[in-house]
Amino acid sequence: MRSLGTLTGFNSLFRRSKSSVTNLNKINERRRVVVTGIGAVSSLGNNVVDLWQKILNCEAGITKLGSEFKGLPCQVAAQLPREQLQIEKYLSKSDLKVMSPATQLCIIATEEALQTAKLDPKQLNFDTLERFGVCVGMGMFDLSEVYGAWQQLQKGYNRVSPFFVPRLLPNMPCGHISMRHGLRGPNHSVSTACATGSHAIGDAMRFIRNGDADIMLAGSGESCIDPLSIAGFCRIRALSTAFNETPSQASRPFDKNRDGFVMGEGAAILLLEELEHALQRKANILGEILGYGLSGDAHHITSPSEDGAGAALAMVRAIKDAQITKDAVTYVNAHATSTPAGDRIEAQAICKVFGDHVNKIRVSSTKGHHGHLLGSSGNLETVILIKALAANKIPPSLNIEELDKDICVNVVTKPEIWCHDKQKTRVALKNSFGFGGTNSSLCIASYIG
């Protein structure tokens, strides 16, 4: 039966190829990519509804770390409310054995994305499943898994789990989602540090635009809040240590007294769809991915270049790819993690890109609410941006008591109406930057049918 199904799939592929040859006059028509489903798990809740409501309420999901972190300079993190996850609702005991925590979170976020998109893969035919892909990544694996396996090895070779390596591989969230739902389209994983989630969305958008797929699940998951990871980031002086007694105030992008980022965990998945495909099935369109820009700093393993050239280049390329002018952009969802250098350099890069128009652009970073999810930050923040576009509200930056004098942009500190004309298309950039000098910028707009 498998061989027959595969043959049927190949035949359908050839039929599509023949059809495309007869439509060469349309070759220059660019396929549009829209968002029809979103799902998220974070310290602010186990679904998008709770996440967005807490953003609007200016709540922070950052808490004190447990006793196992005693002695480390940083004592705060944006941890998941695991007792509310209801993992058993989605995953069996066998699933938990073979899946890393990050993969488990991706599965849960995927279920919500499919539900909000009103798309059940079990109801799709073989041809559609061949055009339905997955682009989900992971920034870094859980270091406690490696340490735990090493401890088991000291007790004997047979004590090492046969699932040890599969649980670590960054492409396994992508693989498990594909296998779980029978998705035979592009199966692609991204691992570009803190730009992972944003790159995954951009790559998935291009798969659809280029005709490799009609539907893509895109995003990332991260779950590595463990003593070794916290210690490692403390050693490079990246984490906040000045607000251990007031966790909710620790993450403060653009504030004068910021002293480092707060590690978070979670997952976010978006369902991207080719516009005509979405319209044909009468899907609820939440937003449109207009453009995608990438660049490299070619500067330092952890620090961005002082002139912000890499960040600026990614934004310029996203705007160009979107085929719009820079004055169409009215909001930038910043990467800003609450580090002294990073926030300042990004703000200056935004000013460099937009020039005089920067006075008409509002900027915020939601990491004050949910911390920095490393490889899952860009995708979680894109989900928040999609909600902002749909709700016509700009999310705020938390904990700004005094704006740093070197921040040259208009930072939003409380929820604001985006545009008083609800029928006007709203356009934003979503920035994500990672260690190794990898940069990504997405241009996203509200969808006016």
Task: Give pLDDT tens digits for 287-321.
Answer: 999 999 999 999 999 999 899 999 999 999 999 99
Q: Parallel, antiparallel, or unpaired: how do β-strands 331-333 and 362-364 relate?
A: parallel
pTM of the model: 0.93
Question: Rounded distance, CA 83 to CA 86, Å?
Answer: 7
Tokens representing 98?
């073979």
Regions in the chain scoring below 70 on pLDDT: 1-28
Tell me what pLDDT residue 4 has.
40
Q: Is 351 an active-site residue?
A: no
Tell me what pLDDT residue 15 has.
46
Neighbours of 154 (CB within 10 A): 7
Tell me what pLDDT residue 448 has.
82
Tell me what pLDDT residue 7 has.
42
| C-alpha 324: how far from chain center | 23
The C-alpha angle 52, 57, 63, rounded to 5 degrees, equals: 85
Of the candidates 86, 92, 337, 351, the residue with the CA atom closest to the CA atom of residue 193:
337
Tell me what pLDDT residue 84 has.
83
The answer to whether the beta carbons of residues 185 and 132 sit under 8 Å apart is yes
CB within 8 A of 172, min separation 6: which ones?
99, 100, 103, 138, 166
Domains of the chain as residue ranges with CATH? 33-445 (3.40.47.10)
The dihedral over CA atoms of 94, 95, 97, 102, expressed in degrees to the nearest 10, equals -170
CB within 8 A of 317, min separation 6: which ones?
291, 292, 293, 294, 295, 441
Tell me what pLDDT residue 17 has.
40
Tell me what pLDDT residue 28 has.
55
| Catalytic hit among 74, 106, 135, 194 | 194
